[in-house]
């Protein structure tokens, strides 16, 4: 009977109502909708022979669910039906991967399929090379290698001292940061991969200790092993210092008579009156030789530097020796390496907020020599190349470096600027050369001795800088033909006092220019006083303005 197009008539008898009801029910049965498809199918490995499935039931009129399974490259086939929104697939082969999908069904047909999930009865491979590093007074970072392809999580376990291990977290990656730990406490860690209820073997156990809240912290490259940073168990490598986050009042001591290879880039900031300090200490051998940080010209993010601080404030760096030649063993420079960016100390920022102040920096009594880099002192967007480089030059960077003291440092044999305080704040590539609302205040450069550099001292973007009692000899000696350089110069500034300095033997290069002892140059405001200075033997004369 064609139930769509048929014309139905009923006699006026009592049975007509019964016939109509029966026909209506038959019509409903033929044209009832198929159920909605299930969603969020999930598979969990229960054992080496069982995988459990769960899903969301999105219909109210299904008769049940059809479960289909396939191998990774095979075709799906139905393996069971279920009245509930779950199914436990038992009797599986061990060490085998499976794919699953489900759909609802009723008398009108099948729904669309759910999402496809993959699970396996494969026991994961154990992680390896677990390494723990103390990165703060109450924090430890963990890293490991994981070669397992069949796992759903990495379980991290920790033990305090010789105590029992307990799981503290899970992750799907190859690293984890454990914070909120107790001070001066030894911890042991291990990890294992998990595939549902199947767990791999454990990794190696790695042990580390947290430190005291205030330190001090010690670095001794002659130590037998890498310790926890205390004097009795000092750190051994630059990375231990670089991975640590310090706080106001902390002191980092480096043993005299040692060499630290690589870059120190410690984290954290001090506060006004309570800086973080890097200095030297005397070991059991009573050496008086300043500890040497040898960056050896290498870097991951330029410029290369022996000490690198970025977006940090209130630090004191004192009584250290630094070098950053193109090689740690050969002094003769290569002829193809002049574009490399290298410094001794870099203090820089990326801030765009006018209230950002990354000052409170003191750099004193350091010996910095053999810094080999391009002989260009600066570029509009590039970092400054100097033995001591403080500042920024990025377009739109509005941060300041207030309360900076650079004093009594000895700098020699630098293929760029000796001391560069360069806070150039251009608003745009075609806009003003200097943002006058973001000059740095209370900048003092005092009592430094510089020899055989490009520019000796260069200060840009200051408000009433004080440069006094410095000695600059043979500026420009380490330059190329066509260079422009001066012994001491200030640019793009308001006012200042330059006094009691001695500048001698500054070079003047053919094809370049300048060669004077002093220069007050470009975008000036206010009154700048040059007084009681001594100039002699400078090829370009005394003063350029």
What confidence score (pLDDT) does residue 133 get?
A: 81
Q: What string of DSSP letters covers 278-322?
A: EEEE--TT---SPPEEE-TT--SSSSB-SEEEES--SEEEES-EE
Span 132-159, mean pLDDT?
Answer: 87
What whole-number percentage of the chain has pLDDT above 70? 82
Helix, strand, coil content of the chain in percent (nearest 5): 5, 45, 50
* Cα→Cα distances 133→165, 168, 216, 260, 422, Å: 19, 17, 18, 18, 35
Residue 9: how many CB atoms within 10 A of its CB? 5
Using an 8 Å Cβ cutoff, are 368 and 322 in contact?
A: yes
- Which pLDDT band holds residue 393 (cuts at 50, 70, 90)? low
Give the pLDDT score at 529: 95
The per-residue pLDDT for range 72-85, each reduced to its tens digit, is 899 999 999 999 99
Domain hosting residue 231, numbered range: 216-286
Strands 276-281, 417-423: parallel, antiparallel or unpaired by DSSP? unpaired
pLDDT at res. 383 = 42
R_g of the chain computed on alpha carbons: 36
How confident is the model over 414-449, as pLDDT tens digits? 888 899 998 876 554 444 556 677 789 999 999 999
Among residues 312, 315, 398, 403, the alpha carbon closest in space to that of 355 is found at 398
In this prediction, residue 485 has a pLDDT band, given cuts at 50, 70 and 90, of confident
pTM assigned to the model? 0.67
Residue 1 pLDDT > 50, yes or no? no
Which strands, in side-by-side order, build the sheet including 139-145?
A: 128-136, 139-145, 175-178
Contact 23, 9 (CB under 8 A): no
Furthest CA-CA distance within the chain: 132
Q: How confident is the model at residue 377 (pLDDT cuts 50, 70, 90)?
A: very low
Same domain flag for 73 and 132: no
Q: In the listed set 176, 209, 242, which residue is the last one of a domain according to the structure?
A: 209
pLDDT number for residue 374: 57
114 and 142 together in one domain: no
Looking at the structure, tell me whether residues 242 and 97 fall in a common domain. Answer: no
Q: What average pLDDT does range 253-281 have in this prediction? A: 93
Determine the Cα–Cα distance for residues 33 and 108; give it in Å rounded to an integer: 6
Q: 87, 120, 153 — which closes off a domain?
A: 120
**Same domain, residue pair 239 and 381:** no
> Residue 381's pLDDT is what?
35
Q: Determine contact, residues 321/345, Cβ cutoff 8 Å.
A: no
Examine the domain organization and report whether 511 and 443 are in the same domain.
yes
Measured CA distances, 57 to 61, 63, 105, 112 (Å): 10, 12, 12, 13
* Res 20: pLDDT: 44
Instruction: For 71-122, write each residue's pLDDT tens digit.
Output: 989 999 999 999 999 999 999 998 888 999 999 999 999 999 999 998 888 8
Most confident option among 9-18, 318-327, 387-396, 455-464? 455-464
Q: In terms of domains, do 503 and 523 share one?
A: yes
Same domain, 324 and 402: yes
Average pLDDT, the chain: 84
Please tell me whether residues 391 and 470 are part of one structural domain. yes
Tell whether 147 and 279 lie within a shared domain: no
Q: What are phi and psi of 29, to 5 degrees?
A: -65, -40
In angstroms, the CA 468 to CA 72 distance is: 76
- Mean per-residue pLDDT, 503-518: 84
CATH number at residue 56: 2.60.40.10
Final residue before a domain boundary, out of 187, 209, 231: 209
**How many domains does the chain fold into?**
5
Q: Provide the total of helices (H) and of strands (E) in the chain, helices listed first.
A: 2, 44
E strand or H helix that includes residue 136: strand 128-136
What is the mean predicted confidence (pLDDT) over 23-44?
72
Asked whether the predicted pLDDT for residue 26 surpasses 50, the reply is no
Q: Name the residue with higher pLDDT: 123 or 452.
A: 452
Q: Which of 382, 381, 380, 445 has its CA nearest to residue 418? A: 445
- pLDDT confidence of residue 429: 46
- pLDDT of residue 293 exceeding 70, the answer is yes
| pLDDT digits 0-9 by tens, 196-205 | 888 999 999 9
User: Does 527 lie in the same domain as 458?
Assistant: yes
**Whether residue 360 has pLDDT greater than 70:** yes
Residue 140 in this model has a pLDDT that exceeds 50:
yes
Same domain, 385 and 480: yes
Q: Are residues 388 and 282 in the same domain?
A: no
pLDDT for 209? 84
Confidence at residue 10, expressed as pLDDT on a 0 to 100 scale: 41
């Amino acid at each position: 009977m064609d139930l769509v197009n048929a014309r139905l008539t009923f006699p006026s008898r009592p049975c007509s109502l019964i016939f109509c009801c029966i026909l209506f029910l038959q019509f409903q049965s033929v044209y009832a909708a198929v159920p909605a498809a299930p969603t969020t199918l999930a598979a969990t490995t229960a054992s080496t022979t069982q995988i459990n499935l769960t899903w969301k039931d999105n219909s109210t009129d299904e008769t049940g669910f059809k479960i289909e399974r396939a191998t990774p490259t095979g075709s799906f086939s139905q393996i069971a039906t279920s009245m509930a929104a779950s199914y436990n697939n038992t009797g599986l082969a061990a060490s085998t991967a499976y794919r699953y999908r489900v759909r609802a069904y009723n008398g009108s047909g099948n729904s669309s399929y759910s999402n496809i999930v993959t699970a396996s009865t494969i026991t994961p491979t154990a992680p390896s090379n677990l390494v723990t590093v103390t990165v703060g007074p109450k924090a430890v970072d963990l890293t490991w290698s994981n070669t397992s392809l069949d796992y759903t999580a990495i379980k991290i376990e920790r033990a305090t001292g010789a105590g029992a291990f307990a799981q503290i977290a899970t992750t799907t990656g190859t690293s984890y940061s454990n914070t909120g730990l107790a001070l001066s406490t030894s911890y042991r860690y291990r990890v294992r991969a998990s595939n549902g209820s199947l767990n791999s073997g454990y990794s190696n156990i790695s042990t580390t200790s947290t430190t005291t809240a205030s330190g001090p912290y010690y670095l001794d490259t002659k130590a037998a092993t890498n310790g926890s940073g205390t004097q009795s168990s000092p750190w051994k490598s630059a990375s231990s210092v670089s991975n640590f986050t310090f706080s106001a009042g902390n002191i980092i001591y480096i043993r005299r008579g040692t060499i630290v290879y690589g870059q120190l880039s410690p984290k954290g900031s001090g506060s006004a009156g309570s800086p973080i300090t890097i200095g030297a200490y005397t070991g059991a051998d009573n050496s008086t030789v300043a500890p040497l940080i040898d960056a050896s010209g290498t870097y991951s993010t330029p410029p290369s530097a022996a000490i690198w601080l970025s977006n940090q404030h209130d630090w004191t760096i004192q009584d250290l020796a630094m070098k950053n030649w193109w090689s740690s063993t050969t002094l003769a420079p290569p002829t193809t390496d002049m574009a490399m960016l290298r410094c001794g100390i870099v203090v820089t920022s990326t801030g765009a907020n006018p209230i950002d102040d990354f000052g409170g920096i003191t750099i004193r009594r350091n010996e910095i020599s053999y810094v080999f880099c391009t002989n260009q002192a600066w570029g509009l967007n590039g970092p400054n190349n100097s033995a001591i480089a403080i500042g920024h030059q990025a377009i739109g960077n509005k941060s300041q470096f207030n309360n900076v003291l650079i004093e009594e440092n000895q700098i020699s044999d630098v293929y760029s600027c000796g001391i560069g305080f360069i806070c150039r704040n251009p608003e745009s590539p075609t806009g003003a050369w200097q943002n006058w609302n973001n000059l740095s205040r209370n900048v003092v450069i005092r009592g430094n001795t510089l020899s055989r550099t490009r520019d000796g001292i260069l200060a840009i973007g200051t408000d009433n800088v004080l440069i006094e009692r410095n000695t600059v000899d043979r500026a420009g000696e380490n330059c190329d033909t066509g260079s422009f350089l001066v012994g001491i110069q200030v640019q793009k500034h308001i006012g200042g006092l330059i006094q009691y300095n001695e500048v001698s033997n500054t070079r003047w290069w053919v094809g370049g220019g300048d060669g004077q002892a002093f220069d007050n140059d470009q975008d000036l405001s206010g009154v700048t006083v040059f007084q009681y200075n001594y100039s002699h033997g400078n090829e370009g004369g005394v003063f350029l303005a």
